[in-house]
Amino acid sequence: MNDFSVLVETCRLIQHFVRESGDVVELFAGTDYLSNHSLVVYRLKRLSFACIQAIHHNRNKLKDQLLMTGEEPSASTAILLQALVLILDPKLPWACKTVGYLLQRNVFSLFREVILTAKENINAKGSFGKVSALEHVLACMVSHVGQSPCICTNVDPQWSFSFQILTIPFLWKKFPYLKEVFASRSLTQYYTNQMALCVQNHANVLPTDMLNEFPGYACILGNILETTGAALSQPDCSFEMALDLAAVTTYLLEALPPIKSSSREIGEDDMIIGDESVEIVLDDNLQQQITNAIDSRFLVQLTNVLFGGISTAHGSHNEGPDDKEVAAVAAACAFLHVTFNTLPLERIMTVLAYRTELVPVLWNFMKRCHENQKWSSLPERFSYLLGDAPGWLLPLSVFCPVYKHMLMIVDNEEFYEQEKPLSLKDVRCLIVILRQALWQILWVNPSAHPSSGKFISNTSGHKKHPVEAIQSRVGTVASELLSQLQDWNNRRQFTPPSDFHADGVNDYFISQAVTEGTKAHDILKQAPFLIPFTSRVKIFTSQLASVRQRQEAHGVFTRNRFRIRRDHILEDAYNQMSALSEEDLRGLIRVTFVNEFGVEEAGIDGGGIFKDFMENITRAAFDVQYGLFKETADHLLYPNPGSGMIHEQHLQFFHFLGSLLAKAMFEGILVDIPFATFFLSKLKQKYNYLNDLPSLDPELYRHLIFLKHYKEDISELELYFVIVNNEYGEQTEEELLPGGKNIRVTNENVITFIHLVSNHRLNFQIRQQSTHFLRGFQQLMRKEWIDMFNEHELQLLISGSLDSLDVDDLRQNTNYAGGYHGEHYVIDMFWEVLKSFSLENQKKFLKFVTGCSRGPLLGFKYLEPLFCIQRAAGSASEEALDRLPTSATCMNLLKLPPYGSKEQLETKLLYAINADAGFDLS
Instruction: Tell me if residue 266 falls in helix, strand or coil.
Output: coil
Q: Are residues 518 and 601 in the same domain?
A: no
| Residue 859 zone, left/alpha/beta (φ > 0; ψ -120 to 50; rest) | left
Residue 705 covered by a domain:
no
Does 890 participate in catalysis according to the annotation?
yes
- Domain limit, last residue, from 592, 622, 652: 622
pLDDT band at 379 (very low <50, low <70, confident <90, very high): low
- Residue 601: which residues within 8 A CB-CB, separation 6 or more? 592, 593, 594, 595, 918, 919, 920
* Closest C-alpha among 575, 540, 751 to residue 665: 540
110 and 62, same structural domain?
Answer: yes
- Residue 97's pLDDT is what? 87
Whole-structure pTM value: 0.83
Question: In whole angstroms, what is the distance from residue 437 CA to residue 158 CA?
Answer: 41
Three-state SS for 844-896 is: HHHHHHHCCCCCCCCCHHHCCCCEEEEECCCCCCHHHHCCCCEEEHHHCEEEE
Q: Which of 11, 198, 219, 890 is catalytic?
A: 890
Candidates 617, 639, 624; CA nearest to 688 is: 639
Residue 494 carries which DSSP code? S
Q: What share of the chain is helix, strand, coil (3-state, %, to 5)?
A: 55, 5, 35
Same domain, 523 and 595: no
Each residue's pLDDT tens digit, 413-427: 999 999 999 999 999
3-class DSSP state of 233: helix
What pLDDT score does 774 carry?
Answer: 97
Residue 758 lies in a domain: no
> Is residue 142 predicted with pLDDT exceeding 90?
no
At residue 554, the pLDDT reads 64
Based on the domain organization, do 535 and 565 belong to the same domain?
Answer: no
What's at 462, amino acid-wise?
H
What are 179-238's pLDDT values in tens digits?
A: 998 988 788 888 898 888 887 665 677 887 777 888 888 999 999 999 988 888 888 888
d(CA 612, CA 203) in angstroms, rounded, equals 74
- Per-residue model confidence as pLDDT tens digits over 770-783: 999 999 999 999 99
- Shared domain for 345 and 476, answered yes or no, is yes
Q: 8 and 135, same structural domain?
A: yes
Instruction: State the CB neighbour count (10 A cutoff) for residue 560.
Output: 14
Which run of H or of E encompasses 637? strand 637-639
Strand positions, DSSP E, 507-631 = 559-565, 588-594, 629-631
Label residue 677 by pLDDT band (50, 70, 90): very high
Helix (H) or strand (E) holding 251: helix 239-255
pLDDT in tens, 791-814: 999 999 998 876 668 899 999 999
Domain that holds residue 575: 554-622
CA distances from 664 to 290, 559, 597, 802, 832 (A): 54, 16, 28, 18, 32
Lowest mean pLDDT among 276-290, 826-840, 896-910: 276-290
Same domain, 140 and 213: no
For residues 652 and 769, give the distance between their C-alpha atoms in angstroms, rounded to a whole number. Answer: 9
Residues 395, 326 contacting (CB under 8 angstroms): no
Max mean pLDDT among 48-52, 150-154, 203-207, 567-571 falls in 48-52
Burial 107-138 (b: 16+ CB within 10 A, else e): bbbbbbbbbebbeebeebebbeeebbbbbbbb
% of the chain at pLDDT higher than 70: 87
State the number of CA atoms in the 13 A half-sphere of 768 facing the CB.
12
Q: Are strands 893-896 and 867-871 parallel, antiparallel or unpaired?
A: parallel
Give the dihedral sign, CA 694/697/703/707: negative
Q: What are phi and psi of 249, to 5 degrees?
A: -65, -30
Determine if residue 234 is left, alpha or beta; phi over 0 gives left, psi from -120 to 50 gives alpha, anything else beta.
Answer: beta
Is residue 922 a part of any domain in this protein? Answer: no
My answer on whether 490 and 399 are in the same domain is: yes
Q: Is residue 685 part of a domain?
A: no
Q: Which has the closest alpha carbon to 364: 436, 314, 307? A: 314
Side chain identity, residue 515: T
pLDDT class of 150 with cuts at 50, 70, 90? low
How many folded domains does the chain comprise? 6
Pair 368, 432 in one domain:
yes
Any domain includes 24: yes
Q: Would you say residue 299 lies in a domain?
A: no
Buried b (16+ CB within 10 A) or exposed e, 739-766: ebeebbbeeebbeebbbbbbbebbbebb
Residue 41 domain flag: yes
Which residue, among 255, 264, 256, 251, has the nearest Cα to 282 in the 3D structure? 256
486 and 565, same domain (yes or no): no
Confidence of residue 293 (pLDDT cuts 50, 70, 90): very high
Cβ within 8 Å of residue 712, ≥6 positions away: none
CA distance 159 to 849: 88
Nearest residue to 174 (alpha-carbon basis) of 228, 218, 135: 135
Given 622, 653, 681, the domain boundary residue is: 622
> Which region, left, alpha or beta, applies to residue 401 given φ > 0 means left and ψ of -120 to 50 means alpha?
alpha
Distances, alpha carbon 754 to alpha carbons 74, 160, 403, 692, 818, in Å: 67, 53, 20, 13, 67
Is the same domain home to 431 and 338? yes
| Among candidate residues 596, 622, 648, the one where a domain is terminated | 622
* Comparison of pLDDT for 448 and 299, the residue scoring more: 299
Q: How confident is residue 697, by pLDDT bands cut at 50, 70 and 90? A: very high
Percent of the chain with pLDDT over 90: 52
DSSP assignment string, 130-197: S--HHHHHHHHHHHHTT-TT--PPP--GGGSHHHHTTTSTTHHHH-HHHHHHHTSHHHHHHHHHHHHH
- Whether residue 843 sits in one domain with residue 820: yes
> Could you report how far apart the first and last alpha carbons of the chain are, in Å?
124
pLDDT bin (cut points 50, 70, 90) of residue 729 is confident
| pLDDT higher than 60, residue 816 | yes
- Using 50, 70 and 90 to split pLDDT, how confident is the model at 123? very low
Residue 214 in domain:
yes
**Amino acid, single-letter form, for residue 733:** E
- CATH of residue 884's domain is 3.30.2410.10
524 sits in which H/E element: helix 519-526
Sign of CA dihedral 63, 64, 69, 72: negative
Amino acid, single-letter form, for residue 198: C
The residue type of 455 is F
| Confidence check: pLDDT of 385 > 80 | no
- Per-residue pLDDT band for 267 (boundaries 50, 70, 90) equals very low
State the CB neighbour count (10 A cutoff) for residue 196.
21
Under the banding of pLDDT at 50, 70 and 90, the label for residue 714 is very high
d(CA 388, CA 862): 47
* Omega prior to 674 cis, within 30 of 0: no
Rounded to whole angstroms, the Cα distance separating 722 from 381 reads 54
By DSSP bridging, strand 722-727 and strand 886-888 are unpaired
pLDDT tier at 29, thresholds 50, 70, 90: confident
Please enumerate in sequence order all residues whose Cβ is within 8 A of that of 666, keeping only pairs 6 or more positions apart, or say none.
Answer: 544, 585, 586, 780, 781
Indicate whether 588 pLDDT > 60.
Answer: yes
**Maximum pairwise Cα distance, the chain:** 144
Would you say 734 and 760 are in contact if contact means Cβ atoms under 8 Å apart?
yes
pLDDT digits (tens, 9 = 90+) for 49-70: 999 999 999 999 988 888 887 6
